[in-house]
A = this chain, B = another copy of it.
Amino acid sequence: MADIGFIGLGIMGRPMAENLIKAGHRLFLKSGRSVPEALVAAGGTPCASARAVAERAQIVITMLPDTPQVAEVLFGADGIAEGLEPGKIVIDMSSIDPIATKDFARRIDALGCDYLDAPVSGGEVGARAASLTIMVGGPERAFLTAMPLFEAMGRNITRVGGSGDGQTTKVANQIIVALTIEAVAEALVFASKAGADAGRVRQALMGGFAASRILEVHGERMVTRAFEPGFRIDLHRKDLNLALQGARTLGVALPNTATAQQLFSTCAAQGGGDWDHSAMVRALELMSAHEIAAGPR
């Protein structure tokens, strides 16, 4: 039972903060908009600034859209850094740039505090159900201190390594998920235009080496045309942007990630930024003048 700050109460942050309150913690809250009534009714305390949150809490969690927002909330005017005292812990659970994260961690360390990067996967459903996967980078001592909080929000919790390694792991996850969707999409569009039934092909492949969670869940979506999210293409585009930016900085070649990003952009240009990411198949269908839904030629 600790005094916890939570900054960023959007689609993900709000249910995560709720789960911390349910677990018995006292929460100090700040949001870009006003703090949701329900959180205040549950016992959360709204604060006027990120600085005020950091002054009152021992551990401050951020859950924000992207790197610039995290930088601003940490180091901007009335930001977290201004309210910290030595011994406090900052945990960024947003999905942001791994390289910027290492810089943020160094600057928080310099204040005598610990910094953890702890991005999540599992989406809104996982946030509500407290079943998020949490990938953590940073000092082990802080990780162990924060563990009860992570356990109130998630299930599959791993400390991968030092600062930045949590964000790096999240980027790696988003690369694999996007490229496996793309792989299944190429295979099913090929099979369908060659005259086979995509649903039966998917079924035949599930038993072998091509098996994956993506073939199971997103292969099914492609066959049944169930493209309501799920995980929105616009969000996955943001994550692949982190991968491609990071790759440029590091000097890493990610040729298929670059192509997958173009296919997501093709969907967005078709008005599909809000489609589930499995709808990447629609870009390949457009390029191949063939819809899986239409069945054999």
Contacts and interface: CB of A to CB of B under 8 A. Distances in A.
Interface of A: 98-99, 102, 121-122, 133, 135, 137, 156, 158, 160-162, 164-165, 168-169, 171-173, 175-180, 182-184, 186-191, 193-197, 200-201, 203-205, 207-215, 217, 243, 246-247, 250-257, 259-260, 263, 284, 287-290
B252 A196 contact: no
A164 B203 CA distance: 17
Contacts of A98: 194
Contacts of A178: 183
18 contacts: A156-B207, A160-B204, A161-B195, A164-B194, A165-B196, A168-B190, A169-B205, A173-B210, A176-B184, A176-B205, A176-B212, A186-B256, A190-B243, A190-B247, A190-B254, A194-B246, A212-B214, A253-B288
A62 to B, nearest CB: 21
A253 B122 CA distance: 31
Given A186-B257, A251-B288, A256-B259, A191 B172 contact: yes
A207 B133 contact: yes
A158 B255 CA distance: 34
B259 A177 contact: no
Interface of A is mostly: helix
A171 B194 CA distance: 11
Identical subunits present: 2
In the A-B complex, list the 7 residue pairs whose CB atoms are closest, starting with the nearest.
A179-B183, A212-B212, A253-B287, A172-B187, A176-B210, A158-B204, A165-B196
A182 B259 CA distance: 13
B169 A176 contact: no
Contacts of A204: 135, 158, 160, 169
Nearest to A205: B173
A110 to B, nearest CB: 20
Contacts of A135: 204
Contacts of A284: 252-253
A160 B201 contact: yes
A232 to B, nearest CB: 15
Contacts of A165: 195-197, 200-201
A162 B200 CA distance: 12
A196 B160 contact: yes
Contact of A259 (B188, B208, B213, B255): B255
A164 to B, nearest CB: 7
A247 B190 CA distance: 7
Given A99-B194, A191-B168, A194-B246, A121 B208 contact: yes
Nearest to A198: B172
Contacts of A175: 183, 186-187, 190
